[in-house]
Structure 1
Amino acid sequence: MLASKRILLGITGGIAAYKTTFLTRLLIKAGAEVRIVMTESAGHFVSPLTLATLSRHEVLTDFVREEDGATDWNNHVELALWADLMLIAPATANTLSKMASGTCDNLLMACYLSAKCPVFFAPAMDLDMYKHPTTRTSLEKLEAFGNTMIPATSGELASGLEGEGRMAEPEEIVRHLEESLLARLPWRGKHVLITAGPTFEPIDPVRFIGNHSSGKMGFELARAAASWGARVTLVSGPSQEQANHPLITCLRVQTASDMLEAAQSHFSDADVVIGAAAVSDYRPAETQEQKIKKTAETLRLDLVKNPDIIQTLASGKQGQFVVGFALETENEEENAREKLRRKQLDAIVLNSLRDPGAGFGGDRNKVSFIDKNSGIKSFELKSKADVARDILREIDARISK
């Protein structure tokens, strides 16, 4: 859940600040990008140099910085807009009070007041401070603002006392962030079935019928759906692409028949089905057991039609939203609409090989999304990652009605 997330970590002046070295390391290992803002007093408890080394970013403590006679400023608005989430840990009683009242007397508070992203905070203080009415009031106000508290735990405190007020351990903070982010994702609990890549239909042990599909579009769709919290089953033909995400199960197949069998076995419990694979339309009627020798001037192959995977799946749908792809070279929209109707799809994604920069192998694509109610939305040439998000947004707008 934290992979590729941009996290703004705010550290305040409490003994628990020493744990932020471990916390930063865990966030980085989870795939997040971390930038750190510290209060001046936090520097008494943990070294900015250590945190800068771990985060691979300069640690910021003040609005203004001077280097080699030049004066620059740290833009708190820019920092706040950069972040996907903000985490303040430890959050001392003093900082909690400032957050609740809107007191803005340091860079960290300016970032907090500018933040439009989800804000998490992990209180840390002695037990009497944690239970004091003013602290409880601050906590209630912050949660009323929509901020998320990562509760303090009980244990040995810096004062030598035992009780509540100890900052949650770094592992617990990371787990809390992941669970909270997952709960906020729009497709949490959904199952998405995606086909991707080409299929290879063997002629003999060394030759096959295939196409130039790289599988990139299907894999980007899988990543986008997983980033929205969906459980993804990705059935891929031969492709060099990788799907390294805990919510993606990638099933590798070779032929159209293999792909259909794998897709059918996961179709019944799918909520959304996207057929992004470039399936070979035909296969050899017979596969030769031995390599065909080059003896004649010509070679004749008898071909038979492969099953239409997305049409076969759509014919048995029971509430699934089924989306196909149409790669066309002429009469693009007309042909796409005909496929949409004939295959009983809910929507079809049209892309044309005539669009410069779009199509097989590249990192960009230009598509139009057409639904069964004749609605069409066309997009500009974009990266395939952006195209995948556009497609999911169009699907979500229709299944959320």
Structure 2
Amino acid sequence: MTQSRILLIVSGGIAAYKSLELVRLLKKRGIAVRAVLTESAGKFVTPLAFGVLTEDHVYGDMFDLKEEREIGHIQLSRQADLVVVAPATANILAKMANGIADDLATTLLLATDKPVLAVPAMNVRMWHHPATQRNLKQLRADGVQVMEPDDGEMACGEYGKGRLPEPEAIAAEVERLLARPGSNDPLAGQPDFETVERPLKGRHILVTAGPTHEPIDPVRYIANRSSGKQGFAIAAAAVKAGARVTLVAGPVHLPTPAGADRIDVESAREMLTAVEKALPADAAIMVAAVADWRTADASGQKLKKDGSGKPAPLTLIENPDILATLGKHGQRPSLLIGFAAETEKVAEHAQAKLARKGADWIVANDVSGDVMGGDSNSVHIVTAQGVESWEHLPKDDVATRIIEKVANALPPLTH
């Protein structure tokens, strides 16, 4: 087989040093790497270090006569199977989104006809800035694959989303994309892919996952043990089936499925708002274990014990019912699926919930064991036609089977 080739563009951020480890991991996997450093990247890492690891010339000067004579930036942009920008700073993402080509790296990105993977790394406030989010939306619409940054402590001392994913995770994503060469769409390029392996192409699937946290005071909250694993697995399966996926996630520490648009929320009310903003959708799969109640008036200060032995008085009120709201929504999805976590009379409770919520299916599971937080699940698909019970399966397999049923149940697309 011909050796896969990567053009690695390193932009100027403190995380640039991690790209050296990425090169080592890719070379270990038999992938050839050619590196391009922006002027700013050269302030953090040296061309010499990349040259030693790549065993190739390191590029950076747009107007280097020797480089242009021997290869030229247009050729350089097209001799790779995949272009990877890691780290991708807010600056280079903005240039990519707006077609700016003012140095070698951005000129290569504008000239390439190969798939592009951007791996962002920046300060948490820069990541959440509306301009950055607009640029990311545009890049995804243009076919650029964007990895979600990790949460954690920043070099600047702040904490939040914006850390460069670990090199091992980037290398795994590179391998995944290289397995489907020849298109900016990472899921293209396989026989009969459009009709067989991508049954949800052209569809928008909305998925909720994880718990919600309902604040009692600044340090306490009402929640449940949901890990989010099943919802994230369903989102990943929907992406694999070709769908555009919006994943509304409660507070969980799980990597975003590649290709899914993730919206992070805390409370049930925030989740409802995000779900309604994501409409319209062809199907909504409400996997999240939303807290049924919240405190009527969360305290702005930590509640203290007063020595009386009596608990602090808490008045609980019902949270909005997201599934029932969608059931009667003006933009109700064609297929509305709810989840029911039960500890007894699983199918019976799910059947009652089906009618009460206005859903098309209820996926019921017995959570009396270690399902919440575990890696496997046993579910019952409850519909108006009856109950379909599945054997105990890994959550990834449950997700794949659910998405297969969704694809078969949706009405044909109209053009």
Q: TM-score, normalised by structure 2?
A: 0.54
Instruction: Quote how far apart the aligned CAs of 1:400 are.
Output: 4.8
Which residue of structure 2 aligns with residue 213 of structure 1? 226
- Cα 1:21–1:376 change in 2 (3 A) is same
Which residue of structure 2 aligns with residue 343 of structure 1? 357
**1:203 and 2:216 correspond:** yes
Q: Secondary structure at the match of 2:4?
A: helix
Listed one character per residue, the Cα deviations across residues 319-347 of structure 1 (whole Å, up to 9, x for unaligned) are: 52100001111221111001001111010
Which residue of structure 1 aligns with residue 342 of structure 2? 328
Listed one character per residue, the Cα deviations across residues 161-211 of structure 1 (whole Å, up to 9, x for unaligned) are: xxxxxxxxx999532884334634110110011111000000111110011
Q: Secondary structure at the match of 1:333?
A: helix
Which residue of structure 2 aligns with residue 157 of structure 1? none
Amino acid at match of 2:30: L
Instruction: Quote how far apart the aligned CAs of 1:398 are.
Output: 1.9
Which residue of structure 1 aligns with residue 294 of structure 2? 283
- Cα 1:52–1:240 change in 2 (3 A) is closer
Which residue of structure 2 aligns with residue 367 of structure 1? 379
**1:174 and 2:182 correspond:** yes
Q: Secondary structure at the match of 2:317?
A: strand
Instruction: Quote how far apart the aligned CAs of 1:55 are.
Output: 6.8
Contact 1:195 1:274 in 2 (8 A): yes
Distance (Å, rounded) in 2 between the aligned partners of 1:255 and 1:349 = 22
Instruction: Quote how far apart the aligned CAs of 1:375 are.
Output: 2.8
Tell which deviates more after alignment, 269-278 or 177-186: 177-186
Contact 1:369 1:391 in 2 (8 A): no
Query: Aligned to 1:271, which of 271, 282, 285?
Result: 282
**1:190 and 2:203 correspond:** yes
Which residue of structure 2 aligns with residue 101 of structure 1? none
Query: Aligned to 1:229, which of 242, 249, 252?
Result: 242
Which residue of structure 1 aligns with residue 270 of structure 2? 258
Q: Secondary structure at the match of 1:225?
A: helix
- Cα 1:53–1:346 change in 2 (3 A) is closer
Q: Secondary structure at the match of 1:174?
A: coil
Q: Secondary structure at the match of 1:377?
A: strand
**1:21 and 2:33 correspond:** no
Listed one character per residue, the Cα deviations across residues 55-89 of structure 1 (whole Å, up to 9, x for unaligned) are: 79xxxxxxxxxxxxxxxxxxxxxxxxxxxxxxxxx
- Cα 1:391–1:244 change in 2 (3 A) is closer
Contact 2:377 2:392 in 1 (8 A): yes
Contact 2:180 2:187 in 1 (8 A): no
Which residue of structure 2 aligns with residue 394 of structure 1? 405
Q: Which blocks of at least 5 consecutive residues in structure 1 are unaligned? A: 1-10, 12-19, 27-50, 57-169
- Cα 1:190–1:279 change in 2 (3 A) is same
- Cα 1:279–1:297 change in 2 (3 A) is same
Amino acid at match of 2:268: A
Amino acid at match of 2:375: D
Which residue of structure 2 aligns with residue 307 of structure 1? 320
Contact 2:3 2:31 in 1 (8 A): no
Q: Secondary structure at the match of 1:298?
A: coil
Amino acid at match of 2:228: G
- Cα 1:173–1:277 change in 2 (3 A) is closer
Q: What percentage of aligned pairs have identical amino acids?
A: 39
Q: Secondary structure at the match of 1:195?
A: strand
- Cα 1:178–1:333 change in 2 (3 A) is closer
Question: What is the alpha-carbon root mean square deviation over aligned residues?
Answer: 2.7
Contact 2:187 2:242 in 1 (8 A): no
Contact 2:4 2:31 in 1 (8 A): no
Listed one character per residue, the Cα deviations across residues 348-397 of structure 1 (whole Å, up to 9, x for unaligned) are: 1010124x55x2000111101112x3232111111100010111122222
Q: Secondary structure at the match of 2:284?
A: strand
Report the count of equivalent residues.
241
Q: Secondary structure at the match of 1:242?
A: coil
Listed one character per residue, the Cα deviations across residues 68-127 of structure 1 (whole Å, up to 9, x for unaligned) are: xxxxxxxxxxxxxxxxxxxxxxxxxxxxxxxxxxxxxxxxxxxxxxxxxxxxxxxxxxxx
- Cα 1:390–1:173 change in 2 (3 A) is closer
Listed one character per residue, the Cα deviations across residues 290-347 of structure 1 (whole Å, up to 9, x for unaligned) are: 1111113122210000011111011114452100001111221111001001111010
Distance (Å, rounded) in 2 between the aligned partners of 1:307 and 1:331 = 25
Amino acid at match of 1:252: D
Distance (Å, rounded) in 2 between the aligned partners of 1:366 and 1:171 = 32
Instruction: Quote how far apart the aligned CAs of 1:52 are.
Output: 9.5
Which residue of structure 1 aligns with residue 128 of structure 2? none
Which residue of structure 1 aligns with residue 30 of structure 2? 54
Amino acid at match of 2:212: T
- Cα 1:172–1:233 change in 2 (3 A) is closer
Q: TM-score, normalised by structure 1?
A: 0.56
Instruction: Quote how far apart the aligned CAs of 1:22 are.
Output: 3.4
Q: Which blocks of at least 5 consecutive residues in structure 2 are unaligned? A: 8-26, 33-177
Tell which structure's C-alpha radius of gyration is larger: 1
